[in-house]
Structure 1
């Protein structure tokens, strides 16, 4: 499938509020694998996303609220946020309004994380109660059993493609909101950085990596990112790639 990105604008029917919702400004959805599940949709940290048989896909509606939403946190994106997709048909991605933001849907099905998945590649929610299943890139039920830590993690098949032009240079700051010490790097190519508080790209896009020399988990960023770790779901940023 051709990768792309989606901007969150409007959404259909509202769902009831869940406790302590996490609204993300940047999320990534990839078609990959987790344990025995292949294919299955995973997020940017390679955690499995699930669908619930008691929800509905037409119309898209969540029936997981209260304690259910604590165990199965709805996967939410903030208003004005952006979703990068990798190996998933753009037409399969949608949103329902929820908790001040939007819950992501795949093939019409609202999607969730599982609180007992503690490591990338876990799929401990698969088959729970006979109603929870990893979601496939077209919204179907992933096939296979659960995984344990150390199982095969999902690997994206291709890079997502932001719509803006590549950044000419990137400035990273030691603290969120562009405060404290800063470091400016220019490209093209991979550059190691000292800071991961916030980032500016001058309106263009770049890619940040958790490991040095552009290794480990990664995420595309565009424009100004006031809280680099919170807005990208990464555990840290050690390097930046600027594209030609």
Structure 2
């Protein structure tokens, strides 16, 4: 499923670890009453299974109502088939690095410099993978990827025959010593392990954005469905954050409150105030922080572009 570039009408301007000694051979408010709420699974999934047998779904695990006792949030002692029910890879801030990738439980995702880019193999097996559990899928796994382009996601076959996810051609892993969301204890371990960004490169601390910057106009088909998140970086599981999936049509619809990020399957026009008033922008790709579009209080209404 192909993503298109985010854009804004010409009138809009965008505002803008710890190194450890370790194995170095071895990561809801609902829409207002004026708008119908989407049947999330029907509108967001647009899923297509490739040769891996994995189902790619738009939106997040929460917005797609994934079972919270399975997948990335399954207990440690759960069976492998329970843990691979679903996998989420989302854009986030990990220990001050942004954009970084985390899984559906908020744990930081890493890449290993000994793995060849686009090489189709992992060089972390045996004892190594005990410290660096690979992110694996199986036929029928639901894979949610808010903020990551579909074309950046791939797969490699491991020595034991399991299928491991890759981002930008790099197999991806968790780190056993990371204990909570935001931990990056695996960063730069052995000068071989690094937090990964959505393109498959090294995640870094964000640099200040220019105060103003012209944005190209959005292109592409009108959106049919959008998932709005109250948290930036598609966060619908921290604190009081939540997501709501909506169908988009030619009638202005309000959101209850400000929504800080969104995923979309096409072009949608968002507004800074209810009733499609205030500042507006047309976007046709996922937006991880509406503040970057000049919407510090988030999007509050929308219409099909």
Q: With structure 1 as the length reference, what TM-score do the two structures score?
A: 0.53
In structure 2, relative to structure 1, the CA distance for the partners of 1:54 and 1:10 (3 Å cut) is same
Q: What SS is found at the alignment partner of 1:80?
A: coil
Query: What residue in structure 1 maps to residue 286 of structure 2?
Result: none
Q: Distance in 2 between matches of 1:42 and 1:124?
A: 14
Q: What root-mean-square deviation, in Å, do the aligned CA atoms of Structure 1 and Structure 2 show?
A: 3.1
Structure 1 segments, 4+ long, off by >4 Å, are: 1-6, 20-23, 157-161
Contact residue 52 and residue 138 of structure 2 kept, 8 A: no
Q: Which has the higher strand share?
A: 1
- Kindly report which structure 2 residues correspond to 1:58-97, keeping only aligned pairs within 5 A, or say none: 58-97=118-157
After TM superposition, the structure 1 = structure 2 runs for residues 127-142 of structure 1, keeping only pairs within 5 Å, are 127-142=188-203
The residue number in structure 2 matching 1:126 is 187
Residues 1:36 and 2:78 aligned together: no
- 1:7 matched to 2:67: no
Within a 5 Å distance, the mapping from 1:124-163 to structure 2 comes to 124-144=185-205, 155-156=233-234
CA contact (8 A) 1:7 1:83 kept: no
Quickly say closer, same or farther: Cα 1:104–1:21, change in 2 above 3 A.
Answer: farther
From 72, 78, 86, give the equivalent of 1:26: 86
**For 1:218-229, what aligned pairs fall within 5 Å after superposition?**
none
Q: Is the 8 A contact 2:194 2:203 kept in 1?
A: yes
Q: Is the 8 A contact 1:59 1:108 kept in 2?
A: yes
Partner residue in 2 for 1:106: 167
Residues 89, 104 of structure 2: 8 Å contact kept: yes
Higher relative contact order (CA 8 A, sep 6+): 2
TM-score (normalizing by structure 2)? 0.43
Partners of 2:147 and 2:233 within 8 A in 1: no
Counterparts of 1:93 and 1:125 in 2: how far apart (Å)? 22
Shift of 1:154: 8.3
Q: How many residues align?
A: 146
TM superposition shift of 1:57:
1.5
Query: For 2:48 and 2:129, how far apart are their aligned partners in 1?
Result: 25
The answer on 1:55 being equivalent to 2:115 is yes
Structure 2 runs not aligned, ≥5 long: 5-43, 54-77, 206-230, 237-242, 248-305
SS at 1:91 equivalent:
helix
Cα distance in 1 for partners of 2:186, 2:116 equals 19
Q: 1:102 to 1:156 in 2, by over 3 A?
A: same
Q: Distance in 2 between matches of 1:69 and 1:143?
A: 25
Q: Which digits, 9 at most, give the CA deviation of each residue in 1:147-203, with x for residues without a partner? A: xxxxxx984269698xxx9xxxxxxxxxxxxxxxxxxxxxxxxxxxxxxxxxxxxxx
Which of the pair has more CA radius of gyration?
Answer: 2
By how many angstroms is 1:7 displaced? 3.5
- Alpha carbons 1:78, 1:100 under 8 Å: kept: no
